[in-house]
Structure 1
Amino acid sequence: MPAMKAISAAVVLVLAVLETAQAACPNACSGHGTCGRYDACTCHVDWVGGDCSLRACPKSWAWVTTNANGDINGDGDRDDITIYDSDNAFTASGFDYVVDEQEPYGTWEQWPAFSNAAGVDEGHFYMECSNQGICDRSTGECECFEGYTGAGCRRSSCPNDCNGHGVCQTVSQQKGSYNYNLWDKDMSRSCVCDAGYSGPDCSERKCGYGDDPLTVGQTTEKQWVDIYTDYDATDDNTFAGHFRLKYTDYNGKQWTTDAIPVVPYDTSMSSDYTDAVADALNSLPNDVLSGVTVTAGYAEHVITGTVNIASSAFGTGTNNGYSVTVDTTPVRCPETAADKDKVRYLSTTALLNYDGTTDSSFTDVTDTTCYIVEHMWSVRFEITFPNQYGDLTNLEVDTSEVTVGGLTDSQRLSALVGSSVSSSRQLATQDEAGGITMAFTHPSDTANTEVTCSSGNSCDVASKVVTLTTGDAAAFPLNSRVKITCGTVLRGTFTVAATDDDAVITVAEDLADCDGTTYDIIVKQESYYFETNTDITALLSVGDVLEVDGFNTRSPKISSINAWDATRGLTHIFFADSYTGDDSNDSETTSDPSANEDVAQRGDATSEKEECSGRGLCDREEGICRCFKGYTGWACSLQNALSLGYGNE
């Protein structure tokens, strides 16, 4: 019995010791931690507090890093920190390295530290609720401040949830091709509004866009769409099938046409071919496009100068003949044979069929114009948007239904079909020697555009014919406008109807005679024009716009084009005005003939694309333009005398 009492006393003593040891940690760490040295709890994951009774909330990068944590290590100051960098969890600093039970890998007492490593962002440490919310310790969930949401308040919220007219997206989702990789790429969000809506919360309606009716002389959009397959010496890679075009409207919404039939171009095609493309675009829903017109041709550009062909051999013409390298290239020479649309392959000087056999169908010809065909089998659609305003987003082409040999690229598992879209097109070959040159003449350059034949010389004006000194007539090409002065009397401005390019010009309008033996005869050029050594006349029309290397801006619209002069190997292209704002070219009468002159036709619009055409205010609640007095229409783009003084309020 005494033995049993002794055992019982020992058990009681052990239990008392254990109870005392456990009781040293508050609430025995609430069952959510372990009691360690110094009678301090080390809490399990997601639990905090001296007794591990409180739930921890999710952490993420702090929107703003703050928080003075006090004297964590009890050393009598509040300056202790841990320096973080991109390669190490921490490094020691001039201050003591400091941790606590919640942050065993380092924390700070007053302010976080900055790493000395270049490019390291120390402004956004991990903090509970991303430092934009209050942690509910009973649930472990963040109560986010206004404007923040998500687990740990790690995302910004979008105002009014975008009002049902948009989606809330992060910077990373919106960045597109931009390389944005900062700390908030998956945290900061904003509304991406549906088509027709705008504003921070997508609550505002957009109004119609139009061209300011008070601006004149502008151009609308023109784009070139190429579909092609390239040369293969063993296969006929002609194509067939269907393609689709994708148009992006003013609001960023993309529309896709129905399937459109396609085959390589030749001039025997009926207008049904291009009508199908125009109809597909004009039939897009909601009248997003109207009035679109389409023409078709080869994907090609002009070979500079003239070409001779004899016995199916390709050679230099007599006047400014080509000297650029066009070997191993598809070419087309429209005047050489009955099958003028046939594209031949040029190997050295021999013209070959696509299979490599010699083509003997050419008719010999001298000084003809030929083209480099950029792809052996191709079609180039020129698409004009007369009722759209401003510079449009380029169309996109879906060629997934185009076939070669009856198979699409996906069925063949190889890419044969190509496509491209551009708002400019190359007009001619460019080369350091032998490429296209463009010489610009401006009327203010009197040294090159004004001729004075002093009295007593053999000059004369009689019956519209102006006789000058030998060589002087070359300054006044056909169709240019000239001012003619007899003595001190200005006779007027006239159009050159004929010239021998030497000493004689004939004008179209009536012109009083002037005796050159008595009076000085002064002829002054009034036209702006280019002289070029390349027959680009078939590719251009009145109203088109050029862009030429060496000039800071593109040209005004073309007002007229002279026919190609094969004898002299040149032509003239006239403009209604000079290069606006490009004073550096006012006296430039020749471009550098040895330079690589990049000459292109520009199709991007110069018309404005303004909400309500800049002639009204948008009612954001209704999405309706309230036009100023004197203007009307859906986008206030029409002037209307009947509405003057009333408006459409």
Structure 2
Amino acid sequence: MRASLVLLLLRPTRAGDCIDMNFCNGHGHCEPATDTCDCYEGWGAKTDVALYKLHDCSGRTCPSGPAWADVASDSKTAHAPAECSGKGTCNKATGTCKCVSGFSGDACQRFGCLYDCSGHGQCVSMKKMATMPNALPLSKPATYTGLETTERWDQDRIYGCVCDSSWPVGLGPGQRQEPEWFGPWCSLRHCPSGDDPYTTHVDETNCTGVTAAGGYGVGEKGNLCQVDCANRGKCDTETGECSCWTGSYGHDCTLLSALAR
């Protein structure tokens, strides 16, 4: 019995056992005719999208998505599938993407919202942003959706900040055309708004019929413009406080001193 066991252990491995590839490392099966590994999905399968694959099935592949930038195959076709969407490196041990700065998601498929909107905004997709009446540039809510193979491929891939505000933002009555926090990542703050006390013939805060910045929407009756410090002071966009010029005072610089009267 012992002699038979020794002979079995010493028997040469036959061609087609993939012994030189460690029997496909338990993550694939051996093709005897070619002595090659047919790896399982996620370990280098033929259907896996990867920058490179380990033919002994010892390394993971990472999630893939439409490439952010690639060579177009014809006049209407681009963004072919790419590992980590072409914006990250794949950790072969864990099968996870390490995305470059500004990109996120398991396949680095999302872009935008640097600094997490500075803690003063919501990070939302273009699809959702189109439905929000307070997203800049102001416009009527719309539908922006479709298949990834259409021109709306970016609907759930590009994200942006919709900044917070202590007052209502929009084109309607009682709403202002600018939010309290603003900037690409909501790091800047508007100051108190007011009507310029020197221009008694016009109300600068009245945005009725005024086209919002960006040119997509017009203020309805009763809509308000944001006029930092009533145009009579300097706005500190870090603190959101006014520094009024000589002759004006108040938190919004709408009051005139006796010398200015």
TM-score range, shorter chain: 0.5 to 0.7
For the 8 Å contact 1:632–1:643, the answer to whether it is kept is no
Q: Secondary structure at the match of 1:60?
A: strand
Deviations, residues 578-637 of structure 1 (Å, cap 9, x unaligned): xxxxxxxxxxxxxxxxxxxxxxxxx557x9642222222211222111122222233223
For the 8 Å contact 1:25–1:35, the answer to whether it is kept is no
CA change 1:211–1:620 in 2 (3 A) is: same
The percentage of aligned residue pairs carrying the same residue is: 36
The structure 2 residue matched to 1:391, chosen from 189, 207, 210, is 207
Q: When you count strand as a share of all residues, which structure comes out higher? A: 1
Give the corresponding residue for 2:155.
Answer: 185
Following superposition of structure 1 onto structure 2, how do residues 336-485 of structure 1 map, counting pairs within 5 Å? Answer: 389-391=205-207
**For residues 608 and 180 of structure 1, what CA distance do their matches in structure 2 show?**
28
**For residues 185 and 127 of structure 1, what CA distance do their matches in structure 2 show?**
18
Give the corresponding residue for 2:248.
Answer: 631
The structure 2 residue matched to 1:29, chosen from 24, 29, 33, is 24
Give the corresponding residue for 2:121.
Answer: 166
Q: Secondary structure at the match of 1:161?
A: helix
Structure of higher CA gyration radius: 1
Counterpart AA for 2:233? G
Structure 1, unpaired ranges of 5+: 66-111, 221-388, 394-421, 424-602, 645-649
Relative CO higher for 1 or 2, CA cutoff 8 Å, sep ≥ 6? 1
Structure 2, unpaired ranges of 5+: 45-53, 132-140, 146-151, 166-179, 210-218
CA change 1:113–1:34 in 2 (3 A) is: farther
Give the superposition deviation at 1:154: 1.5
**For residues 639 and 390 of structure 1, what CA distance do their matches in structure 2 show?**
21
Q: TM-score normalised to the size of structure 1?
A: 0.29
Give the superposition deviation at 1:157: 4.8
Following superposition of structure 1 onto structure 2, how do residues 26-175 of structure 1 map, counting pairs within 5 Å? Answer: 26-36=21-31, 38-48=34-44, 49-65=54-70, 112-115=71-74, 120=76, 122-175=77-130
Q: Secondary structure at the match of 2:82?
A: strand
Q: Secondary structure at the match of 2:124?
A: strand
Counterpart AA for 1:178? A
CA change 1:215–1:38 in 2 (3 A) is: farther
Give the corresponding residue for 2:50.
Answer: none
Counterpart AA for 2:35? D
Give the superposition deviation at 1:204: 2.2
CA change 1:204–1:390 in 2 (3 A) is: same
**For residues 90 and 112 of structure 2, what CA distance do their matches in structure 1 show?**
18
Q: Secondary structure at the match of 1:26?
A: helix
Give the corresponding residue for 2:228.
Answer: 611
**For residues 29 and 632 of structure 1, what CA distance do their matches in structure 2 show?**
78
Counterpart AA for 1:391? C
Give the corresponding residue for 1:218.
Answer: 202
Deviations, residues 432-479 of structure 1 (Å, cap 9, x unaligned): xxxxxxxxxxxxxxxxxxxxxxxxxxxxxxxxxxxxxxxxxxxxxxxx
Give the superposition deviation at 1:392: 6.1
- Cα RMSD between the aligned structures? 3.2
The structure 2 residue matched to 1:201, chosen from 185, 188, 191, is 185
**For residues 124 and 616 of structure 1, what CA distance do their matches in structure 2 show?**
49
Give the superposition deviation at 1:43: 1.3
Give the superposition deviation at 1:113: 4.8
Give the superposition deviation at 1:141: 0.8
Counterpart AA for 1:185? Q
Deviations, residues 382-431 of structure 1 (Å, cap 9, x unaligned): xxxxxxx32269xxxxxxxxxxxxxxxxxxxxxxxxxxxx96xxxxxxxx
For the 8 Å contact 1:205–1:622, the answer to whether it is kept is yes
For the 8 Å contact 1:211–1:609, the answer to whether it is kept is no
CA change 1:25–1:173 in 2 (3 A) is: farther
**For residues 43 and 23 of structure 1, what CA distance do their matches in structure 2 show?**
12
Q: Secondary structure at the match of 1:636?
A: coil
**For residues 113 and 162 of structure 1, what CA distance do their matches in structure 2 show?**
33
For the 8 Å contact 2:64–2:85, the answer to whether it is kept is yes
Q: Secondary structure at the match of 2:14?
A: helix
**For residues 207 and 81 of structure 2, what CA distance do their matches in structure 1 show?**
46
Give the superposition deviation at 1:25: 6.3
Counterpart AA for 2:162? V
For the 8 Å contact 2:25–2:58, the answer to whether it is kept is yes
**For residues 171 and 200 of structure 1, what CA distance do their matches in structure 2 show?**
14
Counterpart AA for 2:40? H
Report the number of matched residues. 207
Counterpart AA for 1:192? V
**For residues 142 and 252 of structure 2, what CA distance do their matches in structure 1 show?**
33
